[in-house]
Amino acid sequence: MRLAYIKLAGFKSFAEPTTVPISHDLVGIVGPNGCGKSNVIDAVRWVLGESKASALRGDSMQDVIFSGSENRKAIGRASVEIVFDNHLNKITGQWSSYTEIAIKRVLHRNGISSYFINNLQVRRRDISDLFLGTGVGSHGYAIIEQGMISRIIEAKPLELKNFLEEAAGISQYRERRHDTSLRLTETRKNLIRLEDIHQELETQLQRLETQANTAMQYQLLQDAAHKSQSLLWLQRRADAMHQRDAAKKEIQKLEVELGITLSTQHNAEKDYENTRKKEQAINEQLLQIQGQLYSADAEIGRLQQEITYLRNTQDRLTQQIQRTDAQLQENHQLKETRLENLRHWRQEKADAELSHQCKIIVYKEENNKLPAVETEFFNHQKKLNAYRDNLLILEQTNQLEENHLSHAEKNIQQLETRFARLSNEQNELISIEPSMLMELQSEIAHIERALKDGTLKCKSLENHLSDAAINKQHIIDNIQALQHALSQAIARFSALDDLQKKLNNNQDLNTWLSKHKLDLLPRLWQKIHITPEWENALEAVLRERLNGIESEQLDHVLNWIDDAPNLKWTIFDKNQPNLSDAASRSATHNLVNCRKLLVFLTVAQPEIRQVLENWLYPVYVTEDTKEGLIKRAALKPDEIIVTRQGHIITHNSFTFYAPDSDLHGVLSRQQELIQIQTEIDQHESSLQKQRILLSEAEQQHIELTNILRTVNENNKQLQEQWHKQQLEVVKLTQVNERTTHRNEQINFELTEIRRALDHEISLQKSAKTRFENNLIQIETLKNDEKQAQSTWEATNQALINLRQKILQSAQEVQEAAFHVKTCQNKIIEIEIHIQTIEADLQKLTENHTNLVGEKEKLDTNRINALLHDAQAQRKLIEQAALQVRHEASNIVKELQEIENIRMTSEQKSYSLRETISKFQLKEQAAAITMSQFDTLINEADIEVELLLPLLNKKNTTALQSEIDQINTKIAELGPVNLGALKELEIARARGSNLLIQLHDIGAAIATLDNAIQQIDRETQSRLNDTFYLINKYLDEIFPVIFTGGRARLEFCDNKILDSGLLLMAQPPGKKNSSIHLLSGGEKALTALALIFSLFRLNPAPFCLLDEVDAPLDDNNTKRFCEIVKNMTQHTQFLFISHNKITMEMAQRLIGVTMQEQGVSRIVTVDLADAITMGKRDKQAAIQ
């Protein structure tokens, strides 16, 4: 599996959609600092499910979204997609069939993150599971970022162990164990909850039994209260009937008296109407006279108002004439004032226009001087800037030369130090004798033969152990299946048995049976068996006899007649069969040509068989209803035909069957109970056999495990011996090789150092000479700059003064123009006012003339004469009105006398009606009371005929007292749960289900414990092997990187699963006690040795390296590059580096640039293609 390319859009500095092609095994990413190279590594880590913002160098996960730059707005989402080439089908699971797998992650500003595999949305965990055990992931070692090398060295023991687990491929086991532990915890919690519920249910059952007894007492008391209440209602209904009859008699008597009173009232009303007509005639005459009087008064008032109006009008006209004269005089004065103002502003305007022209001439003269002064200013400024630029360039050049001097001194010092160190190292090199190596190799060959035999034996035992484990698991599966089937059968048996027991739940019947000691006797349905599908037929015929009880003597029934049960029930005598009668009847029943129902019955007891023959001798069966209807003609009066469904056919009738009692299905349930009991017995027998087999399999598994453990321990000891001998050989061989190689290497390096020293000294001298020359030129330029600065400042001040004069002249011109405009506006305003005043004078003159004419037209003499005539006519009308009022007063007195008579009669009739209404209300109240009690009696379904003999034996007070006593007893019972019986049944069923669940959960816990133990065993085995191999590869890789020394991993304690790891490293010539005492470069090389050992054990499909070569010198960088090249056979490398040596090993270089500030872009170069093109160009140039 190889990385094909990476797509980024809106991720950190990659604002635009960008594709990073990775088509080679060694791909390098290069570019200046801060251009966004590490963002490519962050993108890969992020798309693989990284959820910590700090691991991506951010404060929150939204920091990975492009946040904008100076020229770009922020983006609302970030997406990264990595595409893998899977043509070799290295990925397992549901994605193995795809030749290309694309993993994509999208994050929005609102925090919603989505994951996709081949454009199908998945969970984050699906992506993590895809790379479990490959070294790629949050705890993997395939992505090594900046600073991660130091974190590996300084990691805690448990953190370091995560790398070992990832290399061992047991991270998937760890995830499975974690999930299994969580499920086990939840299962144990469920078990505790179920146990609590079961205990609670036991307490509830006890409480419900008590409540059920209370409910039965409550029902008895309610029946007694119902009977007393019914008697009370009947008694009160009779009392209401007597009250209704008495009210009817009183109403008839009052109605006669009301008729006499109404007659008297009617006569008084007739007299009142006649007198009323006379009164209306007098009133009409009086109204006519009053109308004439009102007309006279109105005319007098009108004339008086007219006279008053004329006088007021004269006064008003006089006042208006005076006001008009005053306004005319005021307007003439105002007109003179406005004309004087007009002459003043015209003179002011002429003076302002002359001043404005003078100031314009001054402004133009000053403005013409400005171009010459500005030109001089810009020339001096340009000259000053040129001096400053030259001075800045010389200062920067001199600073650079100074840096070259310090760098050369530092390089010379480093080279001298390195020369001394290499000389000392060359003197300390040692060599090993060949004979010692030969002896060690012969011992290794002997150990290898013994180890091979042990490995073969171990594999054989592992195969046997695997077969035993499979057999054990198969038996466990069989046991679990049998336990599940058994629990289901028990549950069905309990449910059916509860239904059968409900037949005995009638409290009254149970009490009666217990009283007569019949409650322990079996029922008839428990002693018979019928062929399946004929249960309904037998139930339809026998009905309640199915629940009957046998008796030795049927005569005992006479003792129970007075104390009979309150429902249908049967007792049969099994000792007096009528065999001769049954035989004779059976001989005459062949005419129907049908089988009898007895044929389908199976009865163990002969006496029960005889009873059933007596009951069922006339019962025939048919499977077809149509056939039964045809054969009914042959039936005798006491014979019947019953169908499979239970329908009954007689000679003259057809009765449909329908379940109408608790006995329905009792026979089918009884047969099913027998079958389930047989099934339970079979399951228990099979379960016992499987448990014996499981015990034997477990014993075999333990024996094989012990043998395998012994063999593994022996192999481990041999492996350790072989490893020690091999390590010693490798050490001695490597010491010889390293000594020779190192000696040559030191000679070469010493030569190179001498050359480098000569070169650096020559560079130092030339840089010093250039530095001194630059100092002299800088001093000269500074003097020239000061002179140019003073000249520029003088020119600048002259330019500023001229611009201020021009600005002041422009302001004066504007002020003069504004003054001219103000004068013109004032002149226009005054002219408008004069025109308005002249118009007002003309209107006032016309108004004055009109008012004088109107006043002369007014005359009051004619109206005074009319007023005198109207007052004389009014006096005559008043005399006629007095006479008519006297006649009207006499008629009013007569009306009052008649009204008194009518009112007396009306009051008496009203009183009588009220009395009648009261009695009618009493009658209605009695009728309503009777109706209410009738409704209560009908709703209560009271048998009135049975209660009538008891009526009037007790009065209502006694009945009410009896009811109160019963209610008191009911209240003493306290709260009554009427549904307690039903709740009790439900609680018992729930208890049986809880027991089944407790059993299932116990089995589940045992299964989960076994799974965890198996995972722990597998994890420990793999961890041991991985630990051994990693140490082996460390012993090989560490001396190559350091040219000597040794490194190893050690457990903190003996508990491998829980113990952390310590990394111990000792470079050649050092005996440090802790890895923290190493230098930065040594720590980096040690971490790389560990990582490359992990890769050698479990190569990750790809590896990302972010400037891991930064702390390495050139020689160590070359070793690092060689190791990386050797590992490209199994792993694809994508690295970031600033080192030229590391860049040279890349097959493709990807450049990251930031031409636009804050936005990264990609430039790719295929080095092989570039070299080929260079060779072609060179050949073409030669030709």
Poorest-confidence range of 943-957, 1011-1025, 1030-1044?
943-957
Beta sheet of 1148-1153, edge-to-edge order? 143-144, 1102-1106, 1132-1136, 26-30, 1148-1153, 1161-1166
Q: Is residue 1044 part of an annotated ligand binding site? A: no
Mean pLDDT over 98-127 rounds to: 87
Find out whether 593 is annotated in a ligand binding site: no
**424-428, 661-665, 780-784, 1067-1071: range with highest mean pLDDT:** 780-784
pLDDT at 48: 85
pLDDT at res. 586: 44
- Are residues 1120 and 1088 in contact, defined by beta-carbon separation less than 8 angstroms? yes
Residue 116 scores a pLDDT above 90: yes
Distance CA 26, CA 1125 (A): 8
**Residue 1108 and residue 1105: Cα distance in Å, rounded?**
6
Averaged pLDDT score across all residues of the chain: 77
For the cut 70, the answer to whether the pLDDT of residue 433 exceeds it is no
- In three state form, how does the secondary structure of 861-884 look? HHHHHHHHHHHHHHHHHHHHHHHH
DSSP type of residue 592: S
Cβ proximity of 63 and 121 under 8 Å: no
What's the per-residue H, E or C state across 917-929?
A: HHHHHHHHHHHHH
pLDDT of residue 495: 66
Whether the pLDDT of residue 41 is over 80: the answer is yes
Position 186 pLDDT exceeds 70: yes
- Paired residues of 596 in beta bridges: 620
Residue 453 structure tokens: 């035999």
Residue 574, pLDDT above cutoff 70: no
As a whole number, mean pLDDT of residues 611-623 equals 82
> Is 118 annotated as a binding-site member?
no
Q: Residue 1060 gets which letter from DSSP?
A: -
Task: Please check whether residue 673 is in contact with residue 500, taking contact to mean a CB–CB distance below 8 angstroms.
Answer: yes
Q: Which of 84-88, 169-173, 235-239, 627-631 has the lowest mean pLDDT?
A: 169-173
Are the beta carbons of 27 and 1147 closer than 8 angstroms? yes
* pLDDT at position 588 over 50: no
pLDDT at 106: 93
Pairing of β 1148-1153 and β 26-30: parallel
Q: How confident is the model at residue 842 (pLDDT cuts 50, 70, 90)?
A: confident
> Which of the two residues, 1173 and 419, has the higher pLDDT score?
419
Closest CA to 646 of 724, 540, 565, 527: 540
CA gyration radius for the chain? Answer: 63
State both tokens at 164.
């070992």
| Spatial separation of the C-alpha atoms in residues 538 and 596, rounded to whole Å | 11
CA distance 647 to 626: 12
Residue range 1133-1137: mean pLDDT, rounded: 89
CA distance 754 to 757: 5
How sure is the predictor about 81, in pLDDT bands with cuts at 50, 70 and 90? very high
Q: Which residue has the higher pLDDT, 508 or 1033?
A: 1033
Sorting pLDDT into bands at 50, 70 and 90, what band is 167? low
Higher-scoring residue by pLDDT: 246, 1054 = 246
- Mean pLDDT across the stretch 428-457? 76
More confident call, 115 vs 585: 115
User: What integer pLDDT is reported at residue 80 of this predicted model?
Assistant: 93
**In this structure, which amino acid lies at residue 850?**
N
Mean pLDDT is lowest, of 527-536, 1055-1064, 1122-1131, for 1055-1064
Contacts of 326 (CB under 8 A, 6+ apart): none
Q: Identify the weakest region by mean pLDDT among 294-298, 377-381, 508-512.
A: 508-512
Average pLDDT over residues 1044-1060: 75
Q: Which stretch of 876-880, 1047-1051, 1149-1153 has the lowest confidence by average pLDDT?
A: 876-880
pLDDT bin (cut points 50, 70, 90) of residue 580 is: very low
> What per-residue confidence (pLDDT) applies to 583?
42
What's the whole-number mean pLDDT along residues 96-118?
87
- Is residue 662 pLDDT above 80, yes or no? no
Q: Are 1019 and 174 in contact (CB under 8 A)?
A: yes
Residue 810 has pLDDT above 70, yes or no: yes
- pLDDT tens digits along 908-936: 777 877 887 787 787 777 788 777 777 77
pLDDT, position 107: 92
37 is an annotated ligand-binding site residue = yes
Is residue 410 annotated as involved in ligand binding? Answer: no
In percent, the amount of the chain with pLDDT more than 70 equals: 85
Q: Using 50, 70 and 90 to split pLDDT, how confident is the model at 587?
A: very low
What does the pLDDT read at residue 78? 93
Across the range 315-320, mean pLDDT stands at: 77
Mean pLDDT confidence for 314-320: 77
35 a known binding residue?
Answer: yes
Task: Return the domain boundaries, the chain.
Answer: 1-142+1137-1174
Pairing between β-strand 120-122 and β-strand 113-117 as defined by DSSP bridges = antiparallel
Query: Both ends of the chain: CA-CA distance in Å?
Result: 45
pLDDT of residue 105: 92
pLDDT at residue 535 greater than cutoff 90: no
**In angstroms, rounded to a whole number, what is the distance separating the alpha carbons of residues 687 and 157?**
48
pLDDT attached to residue 104: 93
Pairing of strands 1102-1106, 143-144: parallel
Domain 1-142+1137-1174, classified CATH 3.40.50.300, yes or no:
yes
Which DSSP category does 523 fall into?
B
Phi, psi of 70 (to 5 degrees): -65, -35
Higher pLDDT, 168 or 1133: 1133
SS (H, E, C) 947-1003: HHHHCCCCCHHHHHHHHHHHHHHHHHCCCCCCCHHHHHHHHHHHHHHHHHHHHHHHH
Residues 450-458 have a mean pLDDT of: 82
pLDDT score of 501: 64
* 17-32 average pLDDT score: 88
- Euclidean distance between CA atoms 156 and 459, whole angstroms: 36
Q: Quick one: which of 648, 521, 508 has its CA closest to 568?
A: 508
**Residue 1181 above 70 pLDDT?**
no
Find the farthest-apart pair of alpha carbons in the chain and give their distance in angstroms, rounded: 179
Identify which has the larger pLDDT, 1143 or 718: 1143
Q: Give me the mean pLDDT over the 234-250 stretch.
A: 79
| pLDDT value at residue 92 | 66
Looking at residue 8, its pLDDT comes to 92
How many other β-carbons are positioned within 10 Å of the β-carbon of residue 878?
12
640-643 and 601-603 strand pairing: unpaired
The Cα 81–Cα 86 span in angstroms is: 16
